Amino acid sequence: MSAVIIDGKKVAAEMREKLAKEIEGLKAKGITPGLAVVLVGENPASKKYVASKEKTCGELGIKSLGYKMPETISQAELIKLIDDLNANPEVHGILVQLPLPKGLDSKAVMNRISPAKDVDGFGPDALGKLVLDEPGFVPCTPHGAMKMLESYGIDPAGKHAVVVGRSIIVGKPLAMLLLRKNATVTICHSRTRDLKAECLRADILCAAVGKARMITGDMVKEGAAVIDIGINVTPEGKIVGDVDFDAAKERAGHITPVPGGAGPMTIAMLMYNTVLSAKMSAGLALDF
Ligand code: NDP
């Protein structure tokens, strides 16, 4: 049996279509959603991510305000920029592309972003709301993973979900979202004793580790839904996930490819949060 491939590009395109309609409605009310994107230094991967976020903003009609700052920027100057963006009514979302160059305190910078504009959802307010099951900005990558499951009719309720990785930006929030949808959730990490045994219990297996193809085919339960968040570059220059896709697809029921799975969804959900923020600023809600 070969798995159904979860097409993240298609799900992301559907999400963008819905958002475009919302943006039209907002513009008719005189509101243009605005996203400030702060890039510090010359990290090539960061530059690439920022460029694709700005491109998607342009396609959707979200106003993208780019702030390309030199690596020599001081902590105080960066904090001042965040304060200015917090106060700017044109800006509904603030994104600081991570990692920041050495010498800058990322945590202090991220925590300075107003909770009302924290469209990455990494700040304490957003993460607290996630745990409290209150509405708020959900981190984009895990939110995208949930939307892919939903789009393919995979209901986590009552299922055993295993999340490999416990970072603040992916693993932990994804586990919370699966729990919110009534899955029984196991979180694995570098100290987990028998990773294979844990993975084999998963009806929904999510990998967010950052190690090329570390989830081998024999770690996947027959029929499981596999969500691969990892982005890794092989020595040959190929982009692969944390899951050995070719082997895993022979056992899984559903599987996301890399590229073309979690990646496109992450950007779509950033746009979602920006539109959500613009709607909230006008006292409106977003209901999808
Ligand atoms: P982090 O490095 O912050 O976290 C990695 C996690 O993997 C840690 O919790 C770590 O455990 C765990 N881990 C490491 N080695 C093992 C192991 N041998 N067995 C089990 N668990 C292990 O990574 P991120 O969460 O930031 O990112 C994970 C991956 O997702 C990366 O490839 C990244 O590029 C990708 N990513 C993709 C995005 C997208 O848009 N598609 C967005 C964000 C990330 P411990 O806590 O014990 O150290």
pLDDT of residue 1: 72
CA–centroid distance, 209 to ligand 1, in Å, is 3
120 assigned to active site: yes
Please confirm, yes or no, whether 125 is among the known catalytic residues. Answer: no
Does 75 participate in catalysis according to the annotation? no
Q: Which residue has the tokens 């996301």?
A: 256
pTM over cut 0.95: yes
Task: Return the pLDDT at 63.
Answer: 98
> What is the C-alpha to C-alpha distance for residues 207 and 32, in angstroms, rounded to an integer?
36
Task: Give residue ranges with CB within 6 A of ligand 1.
Answer: 141, 164-167, 169-171, 188-192, 195, 208-211, 229-232, 262-263, 266
- Which residue's CA is the closest to the ligand 1 atom numbered 30? 230
Q: Which domains does the chain have, with CATH numbers?
A: 30-114 (3.40.50.10860), 140-263 (3.40.50.720)
Mean pLDDT by 10 residues, the chain (288 residues): 95 98 97 98 95 96 98 98 98 97 96 98 96 96 98 98 98 98 98 98 99 98 98 96 98 98 97 98 92
Q: Residues 158, 184: contact at Cβ < 8 Å?
A: yes
Please give the angle made by the CA atoms of 269, 96 and 162, to the nearest 5 degrees. Answer: 50
Enter the tokens of residue 107. Answer: 């945590």
Please tell me the distance from the alpha carbon of residue 122 to that of residue 111, in angstroms, as a whole number.
8
Whole-number Å distance, alpha carbon 283 to ligand 1 midpoint, is 36
* Helix ranges, the chain (H): 8-28, 44-60, 75-87, 106-112, 124-132, 140-151, 171-180, 195-200, 245-248, 262-281
What is the per-residue pLDDT for 257? 98
Q: Which of 97, 159, 181, 228 is catalytic?
A: 97
Q: Return d(Cα 208, Cα 229) in angstroms, integer.
A: 5
- Active-site choice (53, 181, 221, 249): 53
Query: In angstroms, rounded to a whole number, what is the distance separating the alpha carbons of residues 62 and 84?
Result: 20
Minimum CA distance residue for ligand 1 atom 24: 167
Ligand 1 atom 22: the closest Cα is on which residue?
190
Is the peptide bond preceding residue 44 cis, with omega within 30 degrees of 0? no
Of 284, 288, 276, nearest to 116 by C-alpha is 276
Phi, psi angle pair for 40, to nearest 5°: -115, 125
Q: Element (H or E) spanning 63, and its range? A: strand 63-69
Active-site residue, selected from the candidate residues 118, 120, 228, 244: 120
